[in-house]
Chain A
Amino acid sequence: MELSEKLTILADSAKYDVSCSSSGATSKNYAIIGNTAPSGCCHSFSEDGRCISLLKVLFTNYCINDCKYCHCRSSNDIPRAAFTPRELAELFIGFYKRNYVEGLFLSSGIVKSPDYTAELLLETLIIIRKEYGFAGYIHVKAIPGADSRLIYRLGLLADRMSANIELPSEESLRLLAPQKSREKVLMPIKQIQTGIQASREELTLYKHAPKFVPAGQSTQMIVGATADSDYKIIRLTEGLYNKYNLKRVYFSAYVPIGTHPALPKTAPPLLREHRLYQADWLLRFYGFKAEEILNEDKPFLDPLLDPKCNWAMNNLQLFPVEVNTAPYEMLLRVPGIGVKSARRIMMARRGSRLDFEALKRLGVVLKRAAYFITCSGKYMYSALKMDYGFIYSSLTASIPPERLENPTQFSLFAPSSHTVLPERCGQLQLSHTR
């Protein structure tokens, strides 16, 4: 088989894996070629608007598992291919040299056995690291079920590892991925975490101790293939950050590729994915708890308002916030003020009192923030009221009417129904690369 044909098949199979960032890893070029900048770097953008920073391929798409949501399930009749370790290493270095990619993202279907697959990945990484002297970024999937010593050796060569949590709950797994269980899915995550901790401790004692997965681990789950609520997903995400010290949890809107009767046949729920990422940001950078964002009574995120606005609206007793005196933690909670603008406000207000014009310059989004702040005791507009109905209608006023009036919009986020998203919702999708 031609190399380009293989590349088509194996990139096509890998495209549903979300992780693309190389951020969080730093390395100078200690070998022959390659380095990693901590900020990450996007090299191109495909027509779906997602960034391309890594050569994202499967080693092979032959697979012994039959997960219903997966493109490579054994019962699916698709063209199959496999790289050889040397072929892939050469291709990758060729791409890297020309600045097409920032690093390698290597995943694989399970061929023969998990151990056999892991050995093939290991061989590829050894060629890239040792023969080509590559010092840049490599992300490799922990093959579920592979021997722990193989995983360890992979981790010593890679910057980041990930094991997919796949679906948000045990029941969903049983329904769609019968060969996997919560235990089996969490085991490699636990193992990588222990490895990272041990390696960190060793590094404090011995400067040249081997680094195991220095850029941390990430995971991903599919959203919209099952009836799991946003609350459940956010709770799970929070748990993963706290218990397993994950760097990132990725969400991937389910793209209908399966034929199983339990699967929905609709357009991917992109807006829902976007709102979940917003909630994820609140967990990681804004000091929010999952319970503050959602609860049992309201288990789905509002499609019309971002989660931070939503929280603020439900806690109007805390607002308005006086920008010139409020503590940093409170500034972070104001919709329209992000981490950067909050920091800038802290600095700038030492120099002079801030007015709305100055806030705008500092990067505050006044369109949203105006309803929740005062500058020197003054509202931005004299007509402002601290009233739920007033703020809600003002905030949603700029949303085009067809989205407000479309009744199918709301059923989208109810647990059991899967309605087609209007096309323009897709445009709300942002990229989550850095």
Chain B
Amino acid sequence: MDNLILTFDSTFDGFLSAVHHAVKNRVRPVCICPQGEVQTMINCSIMPIDTHMQNAELVRRTLCDAAGYDSLKRAYYTYLSSAEDAIMASYTYILYALKYGKSTANYMSNADIYRAYQLEKKVMYEADRMKGFLRFAVMEGGVEYAPMEPENDILALLMPHFADRLKSVPFVIHDLLRQKAGVCSRGSWFITDASDLTVPSLAADEVTYRKLWKTFYDAICIRERTNLKLQTQMMPKKYRKHMTEHQL
């Protein structure tokens, strides 16, 4: 029998549509991957799946009813991970969640279920960290702009947090690695392609505030307790590239 590969349009809804197809037609694809990232193998057939909102919604609702909202969240977070097996891990997890229902958490000794937990934790952890490490710059005209290069695709997880926090300020979060940008104004937001984003120049007082922040950052350290290893452990160097205090 052929090895079946399902492809989708690299949105979560597209992925859920592919899952819907697999479950409904009782097929077991060897791989589900976004279009354009397909690695063909011997004896395989590739089947592109169109995104159907109703199908995606059906999978969402079925999963929630069967195993609770947490499991949908877990499948989503796992899907966002940058690990190579992320999408398949999410798919396998959904199958197990549909099978075991609310007691899925009791099967942590199952390697596939454990993998989903692991990936979810990593994504969640990075999103939590980025909520702190993200740095906005106030641009001319009052728009705030924050560049970032996270390991996982966490943009969609950050947007609600900052949309609530900076309700009165329009802002843009730019994922430089994936060329995506989250745009928010008055609390409502959307994510868009950002390959042709032009960044306006800095507002007049921006540099002053950056310097003040650096001043504070240096003053708050207790020199007698210097512990660079702990600092690096808590704030890995990969995140420092876009942090104001490490740029000046």
Contacts and interface: CB of A to CB of B under 8 A. Distances in A.
Interface of A: 3-4, 7-8, 11-12, 14-16, 28-29, 32-35, 37, 39, 41-53, 55-57, 91, 94-95, 97-100, 102, 133, 136, 253, 255-256, 267-268, 270, 344, 347-348, 350-352, 354, 358, 361-362, 426-427, 429-431
Interface of B: 103, 105-109, 114, 128-129, 131-138, 144, 146, 161-162, 164-169, 205, 209, 211-213, 215-231, 233-235, 243-245
Contacts of B220: 11-12, 14-15, 46, 52, 56
A46 B133 CA distance: 13
Contacts of B131: 37, 41
B205 to A, nearest CB: 8
Contacts of A42: 129, 132, 234
A323 to B, nearest CB: 13
B166 A48 contact: no
Contacts of B227: 47-49, 426-427, 429
Top 4 nearest A-B pairs by Cβ distance? A49-B230, A351-B106, A11-B219, A46-B221
A144 to B, nearest CB: 24
A427 B229 contact: yes
A47 B220 CA distance: 9
10 contacts: A12-B220, A29-B164, A42-B129, A45-B230, A47-B228, A52-B220, A95-B209, A348-B105, A351-B106, A354-B109
B138 A98 contact: yes
Contacts of B133: 43-44
A91 B213 CA distance: 10
Given A43-B133, A45-B234, A49-B230, A362 B213 contact: no
A35 to B, nearest CB: 5
Given A34-B165, A46-B217, A47-B231, A41 B245 contact: no
Contact of B105 (A347, A354, A358): A347
B212 A7 contact: yes
Contacts of A348: 105-106, 108-109
A43 B220 CA distance: 13
A48 B233 CA distance: 12
Contacts of B114: 361
Nearest to B144: A97
A44 B165 contact: no
B108 A44 contact: no
A37 B162 CA distance: 11
A221 to B, nearest CB: 17
Contacts of A48: 221-223, 225-227, 230-231
Contacts of B106: 347-348, 350-352
Contact of A99 (B136, B164, B230): B136
A57 B109 CA distance: 49
A138 to B, nearest CB: 15
B243 A32 contact: no
Contacts of B245: 44
Contacts of B212: 3-4, 7, 91, 94-95
B221 A351 contact: no
B104 to A, nearest CB: 9
